[in-house]
Structure 1
């Protein structure tokens, strides 16, 4: 089942809006409309997952390329608090030099979608993205042409303002979400659901370069969120397996997966738990079935000097 192509069937060639719409439909298949990202032009500061699964900080930024290998002898972590602390310490001790102000984070991600227990591993997409380290611009290739847009990722400088604490970074992310909601749909009534906050953190971890202390604060914050637990031996899209922050609600079961030895980011895994039908802006209705699975795997993450550069 090639769900990525299926979800894109009603979108035009990959303009900015089309790319975002395609990802929005796949997001809805896993989580529903609350997780759908609208085009940047109408949501200038939205912090939401733009990956093609419900499934954000490249923990590996110094020219690192992921080696695909199995890890059969993983050492389990005892609790989600321990996972958060180990991941935070890995972020704090990362020896990679901080990038310069004009540099970009390049990420390459494998995306895989199917039905639980029967994911079609011959149907997959690869997504490449460049995000400026100041968080203001992003870029990707479309039909061989490098496309740019203003980035909707939260300004990393805001999160890095001292003092950097777990409670502080969570408060800033919540404030940004609620500010957008007040200026838009006004559906949240002053409350940010844990699932939405989990997605926003996931986006930052997968797409944005952040200072080590900010990364560490995010990892220490995850165990404090209601419903977040630890799950061992969770697969990502390329077959590697890791230890995960996990969240299950009435709509989906989602995982943010880390390497069990280095505690660096591997990818995401999410399964839809309920059938739901949604009506899109054009009036068309679409039903997404329980058991739809989305996986990602980060294949590369490195700092480069300009958008479009891969090495």
Structure 2
């Protein structure tokens, strides 16, 4: 089968489009014929092995997972002996390393029925980014109706979902983005928009019940200035940044661990693990019209390296999708 393969850490130039063996599903896996896969900051970090501390997970000297890509949507080709509830021909979406390929094997618990009202391209945009937004707002921050929620990085892959979900939960949403993305986040339902090229939300004097940070571009003290005295700050791993550091955006996590026990504010860390339950929740949100994926552009599988390069260089808005 055709796949986008990487044998050493580096830029998008290290990615090769070539033939490899088709994977065979284990007992607890599903083999999916991929129709579309989406690009995430996760792919950039894995490709570069950055921050370097993450190589303890990614692979010390080279990537453990040789095929890039994480999100996918497609049709079930075969199921392992221990898989129930899915059968060949089912339209599904989910997460697994190796999605930039014609076929991918995914754990049964990381695959669910595709939203019926979405195309494969739209569905492939959801799993990682949508799950991050869902867990961050629903489970970690526990957003309530009427609360003031600020999303830092509102026009990115996770951010576009977070704005929509915060509105669905009844919050008053402030979106932080660049000038070119102001109209986009407004169209997603943001009540207020801050153009970070003109205003620093950490120095505006306004405080929010929840601040969801998806960028990591301010100090912990700066973020806390934007959080109400008893509010919640939720830190994610951040997006694409200059790179080359030992800890990267995880530095904020380390500082949070030191300060959190003594803070009145809730200083929280976002770790979003995909499950069938979260895939089902995202599917319901999409089918109800409360959450619609925004796809900026698509690339064919043979140009997946260009898709990641675009994410890195152009700071893409919303989601970039690879079609197979």
Using the size of structure 1 for normalisation, the TM-score is: 0.26
Radius of gyration: which is bigger?
Answer: 2
Relative contact order (alpha carbons < 8 A, sep ≥ 6): 1 or 2 greater? 1
The TM-score normalised by the length of structure 2 is 0.25
